[in-house]
Amino acid sequence: MKYISYILLALFSTILFSACDDEAPIEYDEQIVVEGFMWIGHRLEINLTKTVPFGTAYYDDSVKVSGAHVFMTVDGVMHELTEAVSGVAGTYAAGFCAYGYNR
């Protein structure tokens, strides 16, 4: 019985003195996120978004990056991807499709 009370006292002390502390906030550094997929026979489209600080509400429309100059190099030839081709803010598309098949 004596050992059980020591164990309980040690357990209670551990819980009491290991309380959660607030950590210092990490300095936020905004980054651009590039997301895209290539499918044969489909136009290349990528989405540009930006990161948000931890604890901030995330809304799709508020994180889209619009008005960027986006280029992609294929076989040494540079192609521009534009929002005008995709028709969606924050989404950039090439004016060509993979293997020349236009959809």
Question: pTM value?
Answer: 0.64
Answer yes or no: are the C-beta atoms of 79 and 22 closer than 8 Å: no
Q: Would you state the structure tokens that stand for residue 15, as one six-digit string?
A: 């819980």
Answer yes or no: are the C-beta atoms of 32 and 69 closer than 8 Å: no
Q: What is the pLDDT of residues 5-30, one digit of tens each?
A: 778 777 777 776 676 666 666 788 99
Answer yes or no: are the C-beta atoms of 71 and 92 closer than 8 Å: no
Residue found by looking up tokens 């799709």 in the block: 60
Q: What is the pLDDT of residues 29-85, one digit of tens each?
A: 999 999 998 888 788 889 999 999 988 888 888 899 999 999 988 788 888 898 988
